Amino acid sequence: MRRDRLARLHLLMEGEGKQFVVVTSRRVGNAVKRNRARRIFGEAIRLLMTDIKPGTRGAFVLRPEAATASLAQARACVQELLAACEALDAD
């Protein structure tokens, strides 16, 4: 598990594909804020999917600060967490 100001990453390296889930609790905010945060982090993951090693499966658990994050902040968070877990290709 790795932590950031915006999210935690629980990672499992096995199998062939790449799968991720974004989890939000009610602490993140109301339904509108939670859905917005999930969409933004999902897009950040999608943008980095080509750089992620095959066989990577993980869960991003969003923290309350993620409710106000921009796409650039979310992408930086996702990239930092994946790099810390050595889940990104070195290319």
**Which domain CATH number covers 77?**
3.30.230.10
Q: Is residue 48 part of a domain?
A: yes
Residues contacting residue 77 through CB under 8 Å, at least 6 positions apart: 4, 5, 6, 7, 41, 44, 69
Q: Is residue 65 part of a domain?
A: yes
Structural domain count, the chain: 1
Question: Could you tell me the pTM of the whole model?
Answer: 0.92
Q: Is residue 89 part of a domain?
A: no
| Structural domain boundaries enclosing 20 | 2-84
**Per-residue pLDDT tens over the stretch 33-71:** 999 999 999 999 999 999 999 999 999 999 999 999 999
CB atoms within 10 A of CB 2: 16
Q: Is residue 90 part of a domain?
A: no
Q: Is residue 91 part of a domain?
A: no
Please give the Cα distance from 30 to 85 (Å, whole number): 31
